[in-house]
Structure formats: C-alpha cells, structure tokens
Amino acid sequence: MEKKGSLDVVGIGLRAGGDVCVSAKAYIEQADTVLIVVPDSFSKNWLATLNSNVQDLTNLYQQGKSRAKTYHEMTQKIVDEVKSGQKVCAVFYGHPGVFVNASHQAIKSLKSEGFRAQMLPGISAEDWLFSDLNIDPGTHGCMSIEATQFLLYERPHDIYAYTILWQIGLIGDHTLALSKTNQYHQGLTLLKSKLLRDFPLDHELIIYEASTLSIISPRIERLSLNELTDVKLTAASTLVIPPISDAPFNLEILAALNLSKDDIKEPLKIDE
C-alpha cells in the first residue's frame, strides 16, 4: 500500500516557460511543496507564479563545498518533505535525470519505502545541441560522456561517431568541489594529447553552450584540435568532436549477408 506523501520529479528544460511540458507544469501547480534547483532568477520567479510554496535548494551549493555533500542534502530534503505527508514536486532545469544525482537517489529511496515517486522527462542541453548544431545522432552515431570520465578511463572511442564531452570546463577535476579558479588547462592538454592519437591537428571541434533565453544565441565556436588548449571555457561548456569520416564497412559481414557496398545506403554527410 502506497503511503500518503508522493514525489513527482520534473524538468523545465533550458528555457523557463518555453521548454516545460503541459504535464510537468500541472504537477508544479498541484503540488503541496515545490523544491527547485534552477540557476537563474527568471526561472525562480516564473516558478513562483505557478505555486506559492516554492523552496529553493540551489543555495545548498557553496564554493569549496563538495557537490557530493550538496547532492546528499538535496536528496534528504526531498525525502523528508515526502515523508511528512506532502505531495512534493522537485523541479530541475534541463532534464531532471541527466547529470542530476538527487532526483535518482530520492526516487530510489522513496520507492523502497512504499511511496509513490516518478520522474518526467525534460528538454536537456543535449536536445538543444542536436537542434542548434543540426546534428542527427542517428546518422553517424553518438558517444555522450562526461569529460573527466572520458579522460581518466581507458574505454573504446568510436572516432566515426560524434563525441560529446560534457562539463569540459571542469575536465580533470575529480574532487566534486566548486572552485573559483579554472583548473581545466592541464586537463585540456591531456585531452588534446589523447585525441591526437586518432585525429589530425586541424580536425574541427565545436564548443557549445545552450541558450537559456530565447533572446540570446547559443555559443557555437568552431576551432581546430590544435587550438583546444587556448579556448576559454565555462561550467556550461560542452565539447563536440565530429567524426573523422564515415565508418568503414565490415566486409566479412557484408559477404555473409550477400551484400555489396553499393547495396548499402551511405550515411548522410556531416555537412548535410
């Protein structure tokens, strides 16, 4: 039997008021308590027009404080409110399940104790990236991974697919602590060396930052791999590495299927 309190986790997308879906807005309006983690005052003010009982969890972030500790505190606050019998809506910007720890942990904890808890999808930075850069991940494929994970671990890298490295402005930082100083330069140097195993110095890269307001254009900065260590980055920066070329055919598989290269529809070119 489900207990009285409940949790609905929603995402409002990147552009408050514009990206939010109808069902997410309804959960916000109908909640007893709305707990929010959004980065800008416009979003906070807009959410306050939908529900008068809004609590901002963003202030749990502090310079020098481990993000792991912050995520734990957010999770605990969400869980406590639900256990008190409240119908809670936890609101995150972007997609509430992408690079969000507290949403997953709170749902897992509450479900294990018999509470109703669910997550609704939201429009993420990746969704805007595909639109703004005119990329179809179904054409060449896509590897999407946090930048420091890509750097620290030896794992297969498909150079024939798009590679999206999130949080490139924090590359090399494994401390989960917010810092006032940018310490990504050494990480970029190491990343450049790693990419040079497979890509030429003049291979084009893209620095992308999604726009959070319709009146502001996204950052789309194209540069060569050789220029990677000179680029200025922020916490919102993402690095996109286009494929080096179309992938080569597996001739053994083609033969087994009694096919030739001419029988296969070529993937669309990158610039199309």
What domain range is 238 assigned to?
Answer: 126-256
Indicate if 184 belongs to the active site. Answer: no
pLDDT, one tens digit per residue, over 196-239 is 999 999 999 999 999 988 889 999 999 999 999 999 999 899 99
Residues 218 and 182 in one domain: yes
Residues 141 and 245 in one domain: yes
Indicate if 71 belongs to the active site. Answer: yes
Q: Which residue has the higher pLDDT, 66 or 181?
A: 66
Give how many domains the chain has, as a whole number.
Answer: 2
6-11 sheet: strands from edge to edge: 54-56, 33-37, 87-92, 6-11, 116-119
Q: Considering 15, 27, 61, 93, which one is annotated as catalytic?
A: 93
Residues 109 and 135 in one domain: no
| Domain annotation covers residue 20 | yes
Entry pTM:
0.87
Residues 76 and 191 in one domain: no
Name the DSSP class of 16.
T
Q: Considering 15, 27, 71, 184, which one is annotated as catalytic?
A: 71
| Mean pLDDT estimate for the chain | 91
Q: What is the pLDDT of residue 65?
A: 82
Indicate if 67 belongs to the active site. Answer: yes
Q: Which residue has the tokens 């930052």?
A: 209
Across 185-202, average pLDDT: 95
Q: Considering 67, 116, 160, 219, which one is annotated as catalytic?
A: 67
Asked whether residue 183 carries a pLDDT value surpassing 60, the answer given is: no
CB 214: neighbour CB atoms within 10 A? Answer: 9
CA distance 32 to 189: 49
Residues 100 and 166 in one domain: no
pLDDT, one tens digit per residue, over 84-133 is 999 999 999 999 999 999 999 999 999 999 999 999 999 999 999 999 99
Q: What is the pLDDT of residue 271?
A: 46
Residues 149 and 223 in one domain: yes
CATH number at residue 151: 3.30.950
Q: What is the pLDDT of residue 17?
A: 80
